[in-house]
Structure 1
Amino acid sequence: MAGHISGVQKRILDMNPKAMFVPCNNHSLNLAGMHAVGVGTKSVTFFGTVEKVYSFFSSSTHRCDILKKHVPIRVKRSCNTRWSSTHEAVCVLAEHTEKIIDALEALRDGPEETSETRGDAGSILVCIMTYVFFSFLHFWNPVLTEVNDTQIYLQQEGLALDQCVQKLKALTLFCHEKRDSLVSKATEKALQVCKAYCIPKERRVGRRKKMDGENSCDAGLTLIQETSREQLKAIDQLQAEIKKLTTQMNTLHHRFAFLQIQTLLDTKKDDFIKKQIQHTCAQYTELNAASMLTEITRLRHHIILYKEVNPDEQVANWSALDLLRWVYKWKLQESLTNFVVTLRIFLTITVSTASCERSFSKLKLIKTYQRSTMSQERLSNLAILSIERDFNVDFNSVVEKFVLIKSRQI
């Protein structure tokens, strides 16, 4: 899809050079998280253990009943294609670690349990009761909380490109500022848990024969140091992947940066605005650069007068959509023709396919394999019922109307 040589992006651009390609932000963030998880074996093993916990309890109703006696909520499943599910799975384990361990111990030590259940519970406990697992549990929990918050924000309807860029920059800033503190806090909490459960924090390190000129201090890292190094590598990889996968979006945002209210009101950036307008008008021949420069000067005068009349209005915090709404509210679209067209082009750049995918997800729930012979009319009606489910329907009046259409036995 995104191939710039022979992909769909390239084929569309060949037919229409004015088209703009922006990868889905939610998928980009998903991919960034997947790449960050796969930087080391310990991180991959941790998420494998999380998946084992879900599979163990969900494969038997009896095990679920035992879990419900200890934990108020069910364990969740992690999914690579939906990163929010990974956050939910890790969050449940982080909040109810002791109770989940108690449930596993009850299944392992229960004399009435089958040998398979006792063996699986024991093997999962061995994987959980390690310093590495608790360290990554308390490391990924705050990271995934921020990633999930960003993902939910990016799935909102009517989101503009500048808002998406701002939110992703905030996530990148979080990874940069909290890089060391996330690792140190995860190490501290893991050591506390290990002390409470008497879990060894060191491992036996195999010593190899030293070569000539090699010092004894080169023997290797401790388990705590090695785990911390892999966590730092994971947070750095997440930050790098976010920057890499949002390059196209940042390029488009920079191209239309002159539409931001802070830039428009700053007279020191007139040269930058002029340069960007010339670049935009060269691509969109319908626009006139000289007229747009005049319109921006006119717009500044209107905004200055508006600020004098409304001093409490936070004009500097307006988004591109707020600016367009203000222009239409004061009937200025006729005097700002080129500027309004450019602003509308910017605001109609698609930044996510979450809304489209929700339609396909709902369609898959309606038209199942058992309903393969469903007609188009019935499928459309069921889809409308699903979409408009928030409306209150008087079923008695519907039944009466249905009876009056034709004599039937109900």
Structure 2
Amino acid sequence: MAIHCLTQRKGGFGRIDVDVLQGCSRLPRNAPTRWNFTSRIVSTVANNYDGLLQTFENIIADTTMDDDTLDCAKGFVRKLEDFEFVFMLYTYEQIFSETDVVFDIVQQRAMDVLYCKNRIESLLAFVKEKRSEGAFQAIYAKTADLTSDPRDEPMRKRRLTQLQDPQVRYRNLYMAILDNILEQIPQHFSNLESMLFLELVNPGKFDDMRRVFPEEAFQSVLKSYGHHFDSGRLRSELQVLYSDQDLQGNRGKLCDYLVFLKDMELDSAMPQLYKLFSLVATIGATSAGVERSFSCLKRLKSYTRNTMGQGRLSSLALLAIERTLVKSFEKTPSWYDRVTDHFLEKERRAEFT
């Protein structure tokens, strides 16, 4: 977000920011690989709208500010006083306040598929509730109070695209945004039903599943991955897991169970159970760690785009492409010594004398 350019360039902004924003002394950074950071920025700006506007006005009135800082502050004031910007800000803010909660729940309770499904259905019901005339009028009136109602603007000053009744245009925009969200959420979680088998290894439900075997979740894993399992033996091993307190232990993480089974050599005694834990461990949920990462192919494409005119197939690219071969070399005891010796034979590029 451009505000950070201003905060880093002029220390005075930070001092005014602390005084005016009532406890919000810092705006979250916008990261292109972290979509949830965008929602945090929207929420912060919406909740501190008056403070931000006052902050930028204070900067404009400060005679010690340089020209670049003043231009940035004036631009932000124009944006914060723009009806369409503020209308979109509060339209998305009311949705993000709910979607952020669901996002966290899906991350923290990924194996409780039924609970996640119910929360997603509640989210859809919430969005449908906001898709109403009353909800639109509330956003429109709030925006008009903070800026100015575009219906009060003379007809001759409106652009050709805004000749229709402004309220009708913004109603259509509001409904289109919510319709898009209502369409995208079910598509994004369309495969949730097929992931019901994740509940089979949910430690929080072991006691319940000991009393009543989770037949629906069991059939889910057979439907998707049945050719990888011996169904009869898998059922027996799951029943042992649900009833054996020593086997359950106090392990709350999936990786802890995998390590325990491997260390105790139970992976061979209970191969179907170990295979199920391994399967669930390979199914990653969307997370901040995943959002921060990029595929090797994307890194190589970016590398080749940035090295036009140079030898594209450099050692770094080769290491990424031939990583399987490199892994096999690393198992050789003398591998690192050979690499070090080869490096020492190269001529020094930098002159230190």
- TM (norm. structure 2) is 0.55
1:146 paired with 2:98, answer yes
1:226-245 correspondence to structure 2 within 5 Å: 226-245=169-188
2:195 aligns to what? 253
1:67 aligns to what? 17
Q: Distance in 1 between matches of 2:217 and 2:100?
A: 36
- Which amino acid counterpart does residue 243 of structure 1 have in structure 2? P
1:380 aligns to what? none
1:94 aligns to what? 46
- Which amino acid counterpart does residue 200 of structure 1 have in structure 2? D
1:146-185 correspondence to structure 2 within 5 Å: 146-156=98-108, 161-163=110-112, 166-167=115-116, 170-171=119-120, 173-181=122-130, 184-185=134-135
Give, in angstroms, the shift of residue 95 of structure 1. Answer: 1.9
When residues 241 and 227 of structure 1 are mapped into structure 2, their CA distance, relative to the original with a 3 A threshold, is: same
Q: Distance in 1 between matches of 2:11 and 2:78?
A: 23
Give, in angstroms, the shift of residue 343 of structure 1. Answer: 5.3
Unaligned runs of 5+ in 2: 244-251, 295-353
Counterpart pick for 1:283 among 227, 248, 251 = 227
- TM (norm. structure 1) is 0.49
- Which amino acid counterpart does residue 252 of structure 1 have in structure 2? S
1:103 aligns to what? 55
**Contact 1:277/1:289 (CA < 8 Å) preserved in 2?**
no
When residues 338 and 355 of structure 1 are mapped into structure 2, their CA distance, relative to the original with a 3 A threshold, is: same
1:343-362 correspondence to structure 2 within 5 Å: 344=277, 347-352=280-285, 354=287
1:81 paired with 2:33, answer yes
Q: Distance in 2 between matches of 1:277 and 1:115?
A: 64
Superimposed CA distance per residue, residues 131-165 of structure 1 (whole angstroms, 9 cap, x where no aligned partner): 32222222222322233333334444xx5x53367
Question: Identity of paired residues, percent?
Answer: 9
**Contact 1:187/1:224 (CA < 8 Å) preserved in 2?**
no
Give, in angstroms, the shift of residue 85 of structure 1. Answer: 2.0
Q: Distance in 1 between matches of 2:186 and 2:125?
A: 12
Give, in angstroms, the shift of residue 127 of structure 1. Answer: 1.7
Superimposed CA distance per residue, residues 219-275 of structure 1 (whole angstroms, 9 cap, x where no aligned partner): 975323323332332233234333333444x263156788897899889x97x7896
Unaligned runs of 5+ in 1: 1-50, 208-218, 303-318, 362-410
**Contact 2:59/2:65 (CA < 8 Å) preserved in 1?**
yes
**Contact 1:258/1:264 (CA < 8 Å) preserved in 2?**
no
Superimposed CA distance per residue, residues 62-103 of structure 1 (whole angstroms, 9 cap, x where no aligned partner): 232333332231233333321232232222222221121112
**Contact 2:4/2:29 (CA < 8 Å) preserved in 1?**
yes
Q: Work out which structure has the larger RCO, using CA pairs closer than 8 Å and 6 or more positions apart in sequence.
A: 1
Superimposed CA distance per residue, residues 339-396 of structure 1 (whole angstroms, 9 cap, x where no aligned partner): 84575356434323748669989xxxxxxxxxxxxxxxxxxxxxxxxxxxxxxxxxxx
